[in-house]
Amino acid sequence: MFGLIGNFGPWELLLILVIVLIVVGPGKLPQVGKSLGSALQNFRKAKEEDFEELEEKKDK
């Protein structure tokens, strides 16, 4: 089931974009993209902080 997550082709991505445009609307799409980008950035930052914390505990 989880092996299918990474198998997106161009048609699947186009279909997802069309669905997002229908649901969100073209006017709000930049805000959604900005929110998604900041959420991913915060997730990566938190992940890196956790790895650093684990390395500090490992070194002690």
2 vs 60, which has greater pLDDT? 60
All structural domains of the chain with their residue ranges: 27-59
Q: Tokens in use for 47?
A: 């992940």
- Whole-model pTM above 0.85? no
Q: Measured in whole angstroms, how far is the alpha carbon of residue 1 from the centre of its chain?
A: 19
43 vs 17, which has greater pLDDT? 43
